Structure 1
């Protein structure tokens, strides 16, 4: 395999070498390919990316030093039309032959496809960047502007195009900068014509972005212009615009200081052909009219229903379907208050989050009854969405559980179900699949032998639904919602088979575009295993290890089938009981073997027991990503969860029964009790030229206590898979250095770190190099295996390292991802023998995923 890899690498390098010789083959005589830009400040080269970004021309993008996109572009024929004309259209023999072979229409399509393919090569590749003196001069001027805007008013710039003597038709451009002494802001004066604006400015001038003694920066002045515009428009100045703000900067004989004057003129007032200026005034909202069922079709019809509520006027063309408080609660524009842009934007946002209306229309008109021309009437036009919405989905899938599966589902959304802007959603889902390892007996050899069905109910209120007022600490501009949900699902012939019941009381609110909060006041989950006796058929690794021990020691032969293997489940369970209880039916077993049997038994007990989880959790999410295409952002998530504390507090008072282990039970199930926390941080950095560096750090731990000595499987951590450590399959990594001996390896502590460098290859095809670091461990729970537990910081040596590369194709609405991960540091191996031992394609893990892993 090593020889094959070396041959592939040699072949790749040879191709790169051949291609690199042809980078300039499309250039005409006298043209130079731009290979590098260098910027010097007083003769010393600088590397500031902000300055280099001012240049109009950048060299062709490179991968490992090779301009692959340029080479791909050069594969296109520059005169394809002439070539096709000569070779096919003017060549009668070839044209007649192809026409007879393909038909005239197919021949024309063939000619067109050649042109189309040639054009695709051009658009996918990258045209050579040819040194252009005009563009270079523009870059020189732009550099001068950048330095000027950052306070170097006396900057001098120059440039030189330097041909490369050792490479034909190639050149670099060097730019030479002499910034000289920068200017600093000194005095700041104002000339504000309108008294109302002057008063507002004086009240908030401490917040100014322009500071005395700071080096001049044009961005500070732009920021101050934005600040003042927002300040005035959020404090009643309805007709204010940024164009009224200007700055006068005096630098004459000031010893490199800038004396600044802020100038805000009065508002222009056009009367006929004459223009006068009048002072800005503070505007007040006199009325708020809300039309709750406006459509373009009924715009000229009379309004037939109306009501007043807390100063709001609500109207309807038909009988109003909404309680007045439900609509007014979503409107932040209040009668009697001054005009504010912020109130308008919050109203837009809140009305949209209700999912009841199309995008609302908010209009302001002068109040004709006001002689001072300062009162405004607000008209809000709401167009309802249909009361009922149906949705359906269908998918085909394949997984390690089923060879072939069909999933289907549907949902019904009922808007404004109680008239208070509440939404009620009913959804159902189901799937059928084919599996050769189904849990049940399939004597009829049915193709679809496994299935799953489920249903969910969800009721959402546009407020925090609590018996006390939450407006003081969660005001309505934070878009608060309360959701009550119930869910049920059942699986048949899948693993142990399960019934799952869940109930959630959830609150969520968003103080800003970046910050969101979620509180599950009550998150109840009940999991019932329907086919626990199938455990050793599902978890074959545990069975084989147990069977091997049973065959190595003196074991009661009644535990075995005629082939000498432990009978499932009777023989396997009986062997475990004989070892644990020392019944005399097993002899000759040593301490290590006995401990392995105990470990298998404890894992079996935990994974076959029913779970009852009464939890409360809170999630804090900070995300600076502005939209789907934002390439530079940060995301921080913190979650804390506790379970079982309420039940534990009332267990004595409610006289709950106890099982043989002394744990309290509710409805015959020992409830879980634990504390769990997770911290997740993601950072994406845009390096320019479609190059992204992405990093993630994750840490989580769940500690059982009180009524439990382990964490439910549904709340534990796992490692590996296409979104984690890609050198291992999901659930194959860890815990610790145990080597993933079980089918589904999980634990109650996890550390994970991921680094990824993403870059563009051609068009929509991207690639990446990545390094994944992490593992899972057991801490303070029922597991005692030293290889699986985290006992001290020295166990950090068992952190696994995977690395690799991948391809990603961007379909705009989703990304199809293919990654190859190699085991770089494998903690399952002996110390000193862990680095690069299986670093080859034979032991690689191939991952297919949708969208980026983080």
Structure 2
């Protein structure tokens, strides 16, 4: 009976919502609910008919009030409050920011919409397209029905490129026709014609035609030849300016690295420093001249080309030292040199020193809340070569506000220095990649103190030397041939020793140790293409440690190789993370992640070091399980479901995780989400103190944990605050046959809620 009552209440709510949308309309006003296009209703369908129908409907104006599950929620907010007296305040915010006024049938301009639709169909080759529109009203609501007849779609019979004269410009255009986008047999398509004009313009820009632009090219179509075909004739417009018809050469290259509008004239009067092909006007010697050799690709006497132009500007911007960059091309006025350009680079430097403060807050599922403050000082020109030095100090704490060990506080302190050189350095000196991104060499050193309340203090130091470079706008490489970490555990407590007695193999994780090796990370992302419907991000990393250093070390009586009486780790660690973001429609995104990690300890190590292990559970992982409490395998660190184990850090050598999440924009900066997470961690080798933790292909799938839930996010563009409520669907540590726990769900039971509902607060999206 209760189930049926809920359904009735839901139906009544939907009906009330529908009525509320029109209850404040004035007499004679009709709410516009949208447009429907009937494409070729009584004639044969054309190829891609559904796509064309969707495109036509998207061009209908106005756009009706937004809906969520059939509810016009923005209109509901608009109707919720009376007209505010001022254009500010809470009422104004609700009515006009959260809400929107009703879209009325009287706002629809039928003729304009028909013309727009017909024009679109014509641009796609339906040269005989026609249509009409009709209003359909029912009570206080109405919609538009457009009937469009496409007619036949025309194809290209032949394409004629410019010929008949001996000019270099037409010869260049003709020589590139084998790469044309307009091809015989293809459909007539204005968008392709525009892209072809841009392609030809780019070819000419590469050959020095600085003043040419795509508008000087004209496509003429002859549709009278019959058989639903057209002949295409490409010509250069007769009124094209003379400057656009011949190539230009670079004469002088001048660089003004201290340019400001206020000091423009004086800076140009100072004596320049001559370096290779550059005249550098830098009276204060703020920058070393060789810096610009790696940033500017133009040379005296060569033809202008767009590639050098783009590369130079992008590099000057991406180096991070200049906040304003402009390339100024001035034609030389003298008659003998009327095909030459003087090039000026006007650069406004950023402030050399800056200070930034970042504050983050965390709330973990193990009842810890905390905060961290990080202060960073940046010097953007340390040695006058745009070298960047970052000095960071950080401090944070976590306090358990409830549970068995209430009021326990953990804290961390950290310091880091990172020096970035805008070039490759020893042993790679002369490599110069020809893309928009400046290769970098980095030297990084840092240290951290981590105090885990009632357990131990962890001291660590790190040092790295490596290279960072981008192959193009989509991929980035980070190679650190030298990576050294030192880890020392101090101030251990009786609670910590008792924990090690329960799980003896964890002792190896907290012994003093060195990690000496190399690592490489590759990242590919097409997220810069915001217009794409499907974006993805891939990150793959590989790390090896202990191989080289252990060649020079001898085993002690325990069979362990040590450096300064400290064990050196030996392992290979691989990780791959793939993320996909599919835009179902505006404001609705389906996000997915696959994360796989595999570590192989060997030789001097029986397990991965603690700082390189994989963990499962937490606000950015499998959210239905407490942070780092899941696994390995079927092992359960906390068999008592009524208690929360403070030290739940269960690391593993192998990890597999899958996340899927549906993200919907609700209103303004508020977003909702529904998600499912699955995965676990495992050990590479058997551990008798953690039974069921070893990875085996035959049983791994049956040991997967599954959870899901709902989330609410505040996306203010600068930062995102995330609230996720999750619960487990499958618990791998339960006996086989009992691991799916749907039948145990009981929201009305306080004990069940305490044991199963996990509330996570996070900064940023989980992936």
TM-score, normalization by structure 1 = 0.79
1:67 to 69, 72, 75: 72
Q: In 2, distance between residues paired with 1:436 and 1:773?
A: 29
Moved more, 615-624 or 362-371: 362-371
Cα 1:379–1:497 shift into 2, 3 Å = same
Find the counterpart in structure 2 of residue 471 from structure 1.
431
1:207-258 deviation digits (Å, cap 9, x = unpaired): 2111111112221111112212222223211111222122101111331112
Q: Distance in 2 between matches of 1:114 and 1:308?
A: 59
Residue of structure 1 in register with 2:266 after alignment: 301
Change in Cα spacing, 1:69 to 1:414, as seen in structure 2 (3 Å) is closer
Structure 1 residue aligned with 2:463: 503
Shift of 1:618: 1.8
**CA deviation after TM superposition for structure 1 residue 622, in Å:** 1.8
Alignment partner of 1:314 is 2:312: no
- The 8 Å contact of residues 38 and 148 in structure 2, kept in 1 or not, is answered as yes
Alignment of 1:145-164 (within 5 A): 145-164=119-138
What secondary structure is seen at the aligned counterpart in 1 of 2:322? coil
CA distance in 2, matches of 1:173, 1:816: 41
Residue in 2 that maps onto 1:25: 23
Contact 1:238 1:339 in 2 (8 A): yes
CA distance in 1, matches of 2:168, 2:686: 67
Instruction: List per-residue Cα deviations over 1:551-593 (Å, max 9, x = no partner).
Output: xxxxxxxxxxxxxxxxx65xx87xx5xxxxxxxxxxxxxxxxx
1:450-599 alignment, distance < 5 Å? 451-469=411-429, 471=431, 474-475=433-434, 477-492=436-451, 494=453, 495-531=455-491, 533-534=492-493, 537-538=495-496
| Matched-pair contact (CA < 8 Å) for 1:815–1:852 | yes
* Number of the residue aligned with 1:562: none
Residue range with higher mean Cα deviation, 363-372 or 175-184: 363-372
In structure 1, the residue corresponding to 2:473 is in which secondary structure?
coil
The answer to whether the Cα contact below 8 Å between 2:546 and 2:568 also exists between their aligned partners in 1 is yes
**Alpha carbons of 1:214 and 1:453: their partners in 2 closer, same or farther (altered >3 Å)?**
same
**CA distance in 1: counterparts of 2:323 and 2:387, whole angstroms:** 16
Q: What does residue 605 of structure 1 align with?
A: 507
Q: Any conservation in 2 of the 1:719–1:734 contact (CA below 8 Å)?
A: yes
Shift in alpha-carbon separation, 1:773–1:65, aligned structure 2, 3 A: farther
1:769 and 2:674 correspond: yes
Which of 208, 216, 219 is the matching residue for 2:188?
216
| C-alpha spacing 1:175/1:112, structure 2 compared with 1 (3 Å) | closer
Q: Contact (CA 8 Å) 1:333, 1:344: kept in 2 or not?
A: yes
Whole-angstrom distance in 1 between the partners of 2:516 and 2:76:
61
Per-residue deviation at 1:486?
0.7
Distance 1:756 1:357, change over 3 A: same
Is 1:729 equivalent to 2:626 in the alignment?
Answer: yes
1:575-724 to structure 2, matched below 5 A, reads 600-602=503-505, 604-626=506-528, 633-648=535-550, 650=551, 654-658=552-556, 660=558, 662-724=559-621
- Alpha carbons of structure 1 residues 770 and 461: separation in structure 2 relative to 1, 3 Å: same
Whole-angstrom distance in 2 between the partners of 1:530 and 1:6: 62
Partners of 1:659 and 1:665 within 8 A in 2: no
Which residue does the alignment assign to 1:196? Answer: 168
Q: Is the 8 A contact 1:642 1:675 kept in 2?
A: yes
Given that 2:678 and 2:705 are in contact with CA atoms closer than 8 Å, whether structure 1 keeps it comes out as: yes
Equivalent pair of 2:365/2:758 in contact (CA under 8 Å): no
Indicate whether 1:421 and 2:386 are aligned. Answer: yes
SS of the counterpart of 2:443? strand
Alignment of 1:170 with 2:135, yes or no, is: no
Q: Cα 1:186–1:386, aligned 2, differ >3 Å: closer, same or farther?
A: same
Aligned to 2:227: 255
Task: Evaluate the alpha carbon distance shift between residue 173 and residue 449 of structure 1 in structure 2; reply closer, same or farther with a 3 A threshold.
Answer: closer
Distance 1:468 1:41 in 2: 62
In the TM superposition, residue 397 of structure 1 has moved relative to its aligned partner by 6.2
* C-alpha displacement of 1:260: 0.6
Which secondary structure does the structure 2 equivalent of 1:212 belong to?
coil
Q: How many Å separate the matches in 1 of 2:520 and 2:157? A: 49
Structure 2: distance between partners of 1:527 and 1:235 = 58
Measured in 1, the distance between the counterparts of 2:452 and 2:693 equals 31
On the 8 A contact 1:267/1:279 being kept in 2, the answer is no
TM-score with structure 2 length normalisation?
0.87
5 Å-filtered alignment, 1:23-422, equals 23-35=21-33, 37-43=35-41, 47-48=50-51, 49-77=54-82, 80=83, 117=91, 120-132=94-106, 134-164=108-138, 168-191=139-162, 195-265=167-237, 268-269=240-241, 277=242, 280-301=245-266, 303-318=269-284, 320-368=285-333, 371-393=336-358, 407-422=372-387
> Structure 2: how far apart are the matches of 1:827 and 1:136?
61
Gaps of at least 5 residues in structure 2 are 639-646, 748-752
Q: Within 2, Cα distance between the matches of 1:396 and 1:329?
A: 41
CA spacing shift, 1:467–1:305, aligned 2, 3 Å: farther
State the Cα deviation string for residues 125-179 of structure 1 (Å, max 9, x = none): 2433433474344333333222222222122323333345xxx423443333332
CA distance in 2, matches of 1:449, 1:686: 43
- Supply the distance in 1 between the matched residues of 2:37 and 2:593 (Cα, whole angstroms): 34
The whole-number CA distance in structure 1 between the counterparts of 2:575 and 2:475 is 17
Name whichever of 406-415 and 325-334 sits farther off: 406-415
CA contact (8 A) 1:750 1:776 kept: yes
User: Is the contact made by 1:151 and 1:182 (CA closer than 8 Å) also made in structure 2?
Assistant: yes
Distance 1:663 1:636, change over 3 A: same
Is the CA contact 1:681–1:696 (under 8 Å) kept in the aligned structure 2?
yes
- For residues 449 and 807 of structure 1, the distance between their equivalents in structure 2, rounded to whole angstroms, comes to 28
What secondary structure sits across from 1:467 in the alignment?
coil
Counterparts of 2:324 and 2:66, CA distance in 1? 42
In 2: Cα distance, 1:809 partner to 1:616 partner:
39
Query: What is the distance in 1 between the residues matched to 2:681 and 2:537?
Result: 23
Instruction: Tell me, yes or no, if the aligned pair for 1:392 and 1:410 is still in contact at 8 Å.
Output: yes
Structure 1, 205-214 or 13-22: larger mean CA deviation: 13-22
Structure 1 counterpart of 2:642: none
| 1:376–1:515 CA distance, 2 compared to 1 (3 A) | same
Contact kept? 1:477, 1:511, Cα under 8 Å: no
Q: Distance in 2 between matches of 1:529 and 1:71?
A: 59
Runs of 5+ consecutive residues of structure 1 not aligned to the other structure: 82-110, 270-276, 441-446, 539-567, 577-596
1:794 Cα shift?
Answer: 4.2
Alpha-carbon distance change, 527 to 9 in structure 1, aligned in 2, over 3 angstroms: farther
Q: Which moved more, 1:112-121 or 1:418-427?
A: 112-121
User: Are the aligned partners of 2:369 and 2:401 in contact in 1 as well (CA < 8 Å)?
Assistant: no
Root-mean-square deviation (Å):
3.5
* Cα displacement (A) at 1:371: 0.9
Q: What is the number of residues matched between the two proteins? A: 740
How far apart are the structure 2 equivalents of 1:74 and 1:677?
Answer: 56
